[in-house]
Structure 1
Amino acid sequence: MSLTLIKNAQIVNEGKVFEGDVLIDGEFIVDIDSSISSKSANTKVIDAEGKYLIPGVIDDQVHFREPGLTHKANIETESRAAVAGGITSFIEMPNTVPQATTQELLEEKFENASKVSYANYSFMFGGTNDNLEELLKTDPKNVAGIKLFLGSSTGNMLVDNEEVLEKIFSSTKMLIAVHCEDEATIKANLESYLEQYGEDIPIEMHPKIRSEEACYLSSSKAIELAKKTGARLHVFHLSTEKETKLFTNKIPLEEKQITAEVCVHHLWFDESDYEKKGTFIKWNPAVKTEKDKEGLWKALLDDRIDIIATDHAPHTLKEKKQVYTKAPSGGPLVQHALPALLKANRQGKISIEKIVEKMSHNPAKIFKIEKRGFIKKGYYADLVLVDNASPWTVKKENILYKCGWSPFEGTTFYSKIIYTFVNGIAVYANGKFKDDVKGKRLVFNR
């Protein structure tokens, strides 16, 4: 087994920053101390003086587009971009082609990932109006959760039958993750703007169409149903200040039955950015007002919001450059999410300890991921070494997404990922990849 010793790092873990060394033996962390001596002449020693060592980021919501939409992205390209951005594990969504709404199709995605993914992986099973029997076969030990789309993003994956919804919430003990936007509200809003503008609706109208009302109505219904049935609910990508009031910080995370996530783009952009960025920041739910953005930051910092994720959802430049009604929602983020949060840290918006809590510790806790998300003895060595004083600018030539663009193009970040270790192996080191090593299927303590 190979030994790696990381020395003199600023270790960030469980609310503390302390200088120390970490010893990796094979896949696992075997020692953490203020000073560790090299045990063997074959030990690889990395001097991390002045650099942060953090647990690998766990991104609980990505769309890597495979199978069926691989002209936009695939598991290999996007997981490669993810490890370059310090993400060591991801949970991918079911709205591929075909959709992962049977156990057989779900396992095909796992099988493919085992051959091509640079990062550790899991996939969600997709609930529909008519697959409850299949949904209940999902293995809680080996699958991240159940994903339900309660908004109009995803065609026939929309779950809008209230009787079916209650059955799903009542029948499964697995974590249910939901996209919350009210279909009827969005449709009515869209019709109104189509009458006014035709197909070429100004992008600035996007948050009016996919409105605060649409989000709140759907989120509040889902939470009400979870409370009624006792379901374990996780609400994806909050985008409004109003929704944050539905969540609590009065109990420890481990006791919460209802948890929430915010995505990087809803913390970074607001409606003033549409003029410059156009459809490149068209997401569902929509980027909304500056007041909403500040409300999301407040809820994140006071622990009503539990996780920061990406909702990485790439489309080609050609697709995104279409008129409003044809341009798809979503954008690529996995390579730049952690650098963006570290820039927010530099700006005084969030501590490095809180970033690690929301991007590493809490996803591991909420999904009950086995031996990941922390820098602890006996845990997998999923680690990221960050130089926090190394400015770089996002440009076409350093973007790793298959789609070849980023909403952060032109942005200067001040933190650079130097090493990303996945299961003890430096899969990404100083800009270079180890292409012959693949991530592992995540396992859950349930």
Structure 2
Amino acid sequence: MSSTQISQPPTGAAPVNPPPQPKRHRLRTTVIFLVAVAVVAFFIWRIITANDQANKKAAQQAAAMANRAVPVQVVTVQQKQMPIYVTALGTVTPYYTVTVKARVTGELTRVNFTEGQEVKQGEELMTIDPRPYQATLDQARGQLARDQAQLHDAEAEYNRYKALYDQGVVSKEQLDTMQANFGNYQGAIKADQAAIDADALNVTYCHITSPINGRVGLRLVDPGNIITANTTNLIVVNQFQPIAVVFTVPEDQLFRIFEKMRGSKSLQAEAFDRSDTEHIASGQLLTADNQIDTTTGTNKLKAVFQNTDEVLFPNQFVNIHLILEQRPNAITVPSAAIQHGTEGDFVWVVKPDKTVAIQQVKVDLTEGTTTILDGGVSQGTSVVTDGADKLRAGMKVDARSATRNKPAQQQSESNNGMMGQ
């Protein structure tokens, strides 16, 4: 049996050391570390460079924006005649309005108008069957004829008895009886004539006519219906030319209005649409109510418009400008141009070099969308009406003309035209 023998180092021999680490392993670690540092440094450099470029671009854009002209809308200051007026909300009402009713009872046989038609006073609108009333009229005329014959006979009897009485043949009592009989028939004749007149009037009432010049509305009853006298509404007729507008003003304004009415006797009234932007018609103040409404503290006024083109319609809501005076040579700007600051009211003025500057102004009063100034700017100066919130003093602007406010322009032209007539 064989055995494996392991040799042992001899006692007292020197120990064996492991081989040393190679130098290239340490070099590889150093290279990897340097590459990682380079990559991180590269990314940091890119981020810093990108931020610098972004900041530079933003600065360039800011500089470009600072040098770029701001678009604004401008108008020129005007010097013109300016109306001073009181505004009020009014309702258009017909100058005359009539609800037509039948004055006799009967069957409606004919309608002689078209709904919405213009009619003249006295023009026949509807017809009620006149035959029953015509028969009654003929009967009254027959009664008159009979009573006239009896009157003629009674008169002859009275004349005979009077002659006999003068001869002493008949008594006074008999003569008085004949005279009374003759008087009865005279009274009967008058009663018959009154009945004829009443029956003839009923026949006339069967022909329903327009009481005024105006326009008819929708018919309320169709032919074939039985009409009841003084009860059934048949048609409404409204007068459009002229037409009225009733409006209310606060009692505090009445003194000014009455003072102007006493002075000029007539005040001009301008009607505008519901939005108070479009001029509709011109008229004159007619009168004021004789009492103030204590619940609202207002008074009703009435203005009349010729309405030749029929632009005003009953129950239409309109804004009324009651002109109290005309102020000549007023310096005016749109109210949108007025700005408010700590030092008072001001406007942005556009200079000839297309830059803007602040100009302090003094506001006299505001009428609608137009403001009257008492100083600060002169006629022809360009002021900003839109875009003022982006402006700073000295900034360049791209000025574009804006339309003057429409109501003030139209009203001024209308007033100037009427003043020149």
Fold shared by both chains (TM-score > 0.5): no
Q: For this structure pair, what is the TM-score category when the shorter chain's length is used for normalisation?
A: under 0.3
Q: Which structure dedicates a bigger proportion of its chain to strand?
A: 2
Q: Which has the higher contact order (CA 8 A, sep 6+)?
A: 2
Normalising by structure 1, report the TM-score.
0.19
Q: Which has the larger radius of gyration?
A: 2
Normalising by structure 2, report the TM-score.
0.20
